[in-house]
Amino acid sequence: MPVIEVADLVKEFSRPTRQEGAFAGVRTLLTRERTVKRAVDGVNFTVRQGEMVGYLGPNGAGKSTTIKMLTGILVPTSGTVRVAGATPWRDRSRNARRIGVVFGQRSQLWWDLPLRDSLWLISRLYDVPQDRFRAKQRQFGEVLDLGPFLDTPVRQLSLGQRMRGDLAAAMLYDPDILYLDEPTVGLDVVAKERIRAFVGELNRASGTTVVLTTHDLDDVEELCDRIILIDHGKVAYDGAVDELKARYAPHRELVVQTDGLESVEGAEVVRREGGKVWLRFDPVRTPPAELVAAVLAQHRVTDLSIVEPELESVIHRIYADRG
């Protein structure tokens, strides 16, 4: 049963047409001419309860605009959105209780209040029973290590601390769906890992549905089984991460440390460096086990590994192909 249903979703923005020549700025302000930008152009998808979906695309593709319609902040030009059976921009307060939202660039916490007070206020706004609030605070406090900065005003928190606070705030009232918009932007490796571990655990333990927008494809590799790729407002791919790699980057590379390997049947030598040789092969036509056996039978090998294509290079290739 889908928890998010999006059908023929369109969002157009209209703005004064930019004027050229002398006094262009002022004339742009005064003109009645309008230019229409179709940011989301007929998007369809559904998300099942408990899925973790990466909603990806290049800058300006229409990701944030879609998420804003899913969360009820923006009203579409046409099309329908149902989230947990309701229309987000019409049933705003009902929707707000079903979803948690974390925008990496903005905070929903009160800037001047200590994190502890922000969390308490949110628990009151969402009618979280106080014993439950205390249990959540303990649980999130441990997993996200909030203790050292619970009493610090939000404005004094580092970006990583603030993000952990925002995640705790978004999940205090147990929403079914969590929207994450660039949750790890600007964070160091350790902070990124902590956030990913928290989100993964939420999904496993509570079946929280996660829709993740990010430019950091490690977030996607670690958390999502499925990707919706959007480009110029349209869905360019919707399916499993592995299928995407298989379709757009079917080759693997066998890297061998050896002496004197010139060629081997079923693979192409694509690079040599020192004693290392990179052999590109298609795993459907040349099963990896057979290739490895053939190399080992003919050469003295001291090291060997098989390299999968990186999601990043696959996605770059798709964008490049689409122009």
Ligand X SMILES: Nc1ncnc2c1ncn2[C@@H]1O[C@H](COP(=O)(O)OP(=O)(O)OP(=O)(O)O)[C@@H](O)[C@H]1O
What residue ranges bind ligand X (CB under 6 A)? Answer: 13, 15, 37, 39, 57, 59-65
Extended beta strands in 167-267, E state:
177-181, 209-213, 226-231, 234-240, 252-258
Closest distance between ligand X and the C-beta of residue 238, in Å?
Answer: 16
Closest distance between ligand X and the C-beta of residue 192, in Å?
Answer: 18
Closest distance between ligand X and the C-beta of residue 59, in Å?
Answer: 3
Q: Is beta strand 52-56 parallel, antiparallel or unpaired with respect to 234-240? A: unpaired
Q: Which is nearer to ligand X, 19 or 49 (CB)?
A: 19
Closest distance between ligand X and the C-beta of residue 184, in Å?
Answer: 14
Q: Which is nearer to ligand X, 60 or 288 (CB)?
A: 60
Extended beta strands in the chain, E state:
2-16, 34-48, 52-56, 78-83, 99-103, 177-181, 209-213, 226-231, 234-240, 252-258, 268-273, 276-281, 301-307
Q: Which is nearer to ligand X, 60 or 85 (CB)?
A: 60
Q: Which is nearer to ligand X, 15 or 92 (CB)?
A: 15
Total residue length of the chain: 323
Q: Which is nearer to ligand X, 78 or 130 (CB)?
A: 78
Q: Which is nearer to ligand X, 95 or 214 (CB)?
A: 214
Q: Is beta strand 78-83 parallel, antiparallel or unpaired with respect to 2-16? A: antiparallel
Closest distance between ligand X and the C-beta of residue 11, in Å?
Answer: 8
Among candidate residues 119, 164, 154, the one with its CA nearest the CA of residue 137: 119
For 258, which DSSP code?
Answer: E
For 86, which DSSP code?
Answer: B
Closest distance between ligand X and the C-beta of residue 34, in Å?
Answer: 11
- 53-63: b (≥16 Cβ within 10 Å) or e: bbbbbbeebbb
| 94 sits in which H/E element | helix 92-98
Q: Which is nearer to ligand X, 166 or 181 (CB)?
A: 181
Q: Which is nearer to ligand X, 14 or 302 (CB)?
A: 14
Closest distance between ligand X and the C-beta of residue 24, in Å?
Answer: 19
50 φ, ψ (degrees, to nearest 5) = 90, -5
**In contact, 254 and 299? CB cutoff 8 Å:** no
Closest distance between ligand X and the C-beta of residue 281, in Å?
Answer: 35
| 321 sits in which H/E element | helix 311-322
Give Cβ neighbours of residue 228 (< 8 Å, ≥ 6 apart): 45, 53, 54, 55, 56, 235, 237, 238
Q: Which is nearer to ligand X, 172 or 229 (CB)?
A: 229
Closest distance between ligand X and the C-beta of residue 229, in Å?
Answer: 11
Angular region, 23: left φ>0, alpha ψ -120 to 50, beta rest: left
